[in-house]
Structure 1
Amino acid sequence: QLKAIYKDNADTIIGNMDSQIFLGGSEPGTLKDLSEMLGKETIDAFNTSDTRGNSPSYGTNYSKLGHELLSRDELAVMDGGKCILQLRGVRPFLSDKYDLTQHPNYKLTSDFDEKNRFDIEKYLNRKAKIHPGDEFIVVDADSLPSA
């Protein structure tokens, strides 16, 4: 969404963020960027071989492998109760999402009670009640200074 709106400036905006939170998603570009940001882990691999026969031999091979901490497909199917936080000066970390039902003001949301839902249509269509004796100031919009 950021790149769609701000195009080339999106990278500048992202670069100036002190914190980022990934709540989940499946957009390929986001998954690629996040996987790269998380980096790789080093895996020590030991392989052994044992050859039997007329001239038996035994060998051990040690190698270090790099593996993405979380691949794109792992990020795409990440547990819905988890998120990844990136804070300035701290390595990215996996965390539990905050349970909104535990917030002290949860009872004021429409998820708790439908009567709390804001009705934009009702708000926009409300009519001002005018009483006898009310005073008004008439302003000519054309005479206002332009911005």
Structure 2
Amino acid sequence: MGNCDSLVYLGGNDEDTFKFMSGLLGKQTIDVRNTSRSFGQTGSGSLSHQKIARDLMTPDEVGNMKRHECLVRIANMPVFKSKKYNSIKHPNWKYLANQETDERWWNYQINPLNQRQENHLEGLRIRDLTFESSLK
């Protein structure tokens, strides 16, 4: 992920990924208010306010996102939560194939090397090994 400029997290079930996404989101500051009251002779009480840091989303919250939600990070922008795009509503959806029997199915064929190409590669391999041996 070191060279990843943009990222769309669609969900998953890996604890390490939950932690990574939680860390990527960062923290937020929340205000915590504590109150206490004593019912003794004096009837004293106290109220305290405290600001603490909290993960924007904990790893558990990342793992429990709704199925239609995703997290998006674009370049150096803050990560944001969004709804997944419903690809069935795309106007070109009708051009996609679902299985090999569909007429729009695309089979990518890798052309095998011809004899001349194989000989050239074999020559390169021999030369590389010879050069490598001379370094020792």
1:107 positional shift: 0.3
Tell me how far apart the structure 2 counterparts of residues 61 and 84 of structure 1 sit (CA, whole Å): 35
Q: In structure 2, do the counterparts of structure 1 residues 59 and 79 end up closer, same or farther at CA, with 3 Å as the change threshold?
A: same
| Equivalent runs, 1:1-147 vs 2, <5 Å | 14-111=1-98, 115-116=102-103, 118=105, 120=107, 140-141=115-116, 144-146=119-121
Task: Flag structure 1 segments of 5+ consecutive residues without an equivalent.
Answer: 1-13, 125-138
Task: Flag structure 2 segments of 5+ consecutive residues without an equivalent.
Answer: 125-136
Tell me how far apart the structure 2 counterparts of residues 115 and 79 of structure 1 sit (CA, whole Å): 32
Tell me how far apart the structure 1 counterparts of residues 86 and 30 of structure 2 sit (CA, whole Å): 35
TM-score (norm 1): 0.67
Q: In structure 2, do the counterparts of structure 1 residues 37 and 140 end up closer, same or farther at CA, with 3 Å as the change threshold?
A: closer
Where do 4+ consecutive residues of structure 1 move more than 2 Å? 114-120, 139-147
Q: Secondary structure at the match of 2:24?
A: helix
Residues matched between the structures, number: 117
1:58 positional shift: 2.0
RCO higher in structure (CA 8 A, sep ≥6): 2
Tell me how far apart the structure 2 counterparts of residues 143 and 57 of structure 1 sit (CA, whole Å): 90
TM-score (norm 2): 0.72
RMSD value, Cα: 2.6
1:32 positional shift: 0.8
Contact 1:109/1:116 (CA < 8 Å) preserved in 2? no
1:119 positional shift: 7.0
Percent of pairs identical after alignment? 32
